Amino acid sequence: MKCSHCKGTGEVDKPELSTIKSILVQLNEVAGTHYQSKTAATQKVIAARLNDGFTAEDFATVIQTKCEQWLRDPTMRKYIRPITLFGPKFEGYLNEVVKAPKQKVKFVY
């Protein structure tokens, strides 16, 4: 059976590769990391989610949400990586309920 992402060639299609690059650019900017789009494992995990029908905006949401939650936590910071963020738990991360920041309530009398 041929791989649906690489069509049996072992290489990801160029249009999909540009999407993978843009996703990793965003991850690297937000998280301060240096992941590369030429890594096969990274391509594979992102291509799998794209193949599932998720969009670049979905990746942006997960990156933003998990970085807000994990960047300040030394225990969790190490999990801000493609294999964790874009793996099998991706849809769960995407659908997490994010707490709205507490706003000060001003009462007028």
pLDDT per position as a tens digit, 4-29: 545 555 555 566 899 999 999 999 99
Asked if residue 52 belongs to a domain, the reply is yes
Instruction: Please indicate, yes or no, if residue 31 is contained in any of the structural domains.
Output: yes
Domain that holds residue 72: 14-94
Confidence of residue 1 (pLDDT cuts 50, 70, 90): very low
- Establish if 50 belongs to a structural domain: yes
Structurally, how many domains does the chain consist of?
1
pLDDT at 91 over 80: yes
Yes or no: say if 93 and 80 are a contact pair by the CB < 8 Å rule.
no
94, 62 Cβ separation under 8 angstroms: yes
Residue 9 lies in a domain: no
Helices (H), the chain: 14-31, 40-51, 56-70, 74-77, 82-85, 90-94
> Does 53 reside within a domain?
yes
pLDDT > 80? residue 74: yes
> 2 in a domain, yes or no?
no
Q: Which two tokens stand for residue 64?
A: 């933003």
Residue 87 DSSP one-character state: S
The pLDDT confidence band at residue 2, using thresholds 50, 70 and 90, is very low
Confidence bin at 109 (pLDDT 50/70/90): low
Q: What's the whole-model pTM score?
A: 0.77
Instruction: Read off the pLDDT of each residue in 73-98 and give the average, rounded to a whole number.
Output: 94
Q: What are the angstrom distances between the C-alpha of 98 and each of 18, 42, 95?
A: 29, 26, 9
- Across 39-64, average pLDDT: 95
Does residue 61 belong to any structural domain of this protein? yes
**106 within a domain of the structure (yes/no):** no
The answer to whether the beta carbons of residues 31 and 67 sit under 8 Å apart is yes
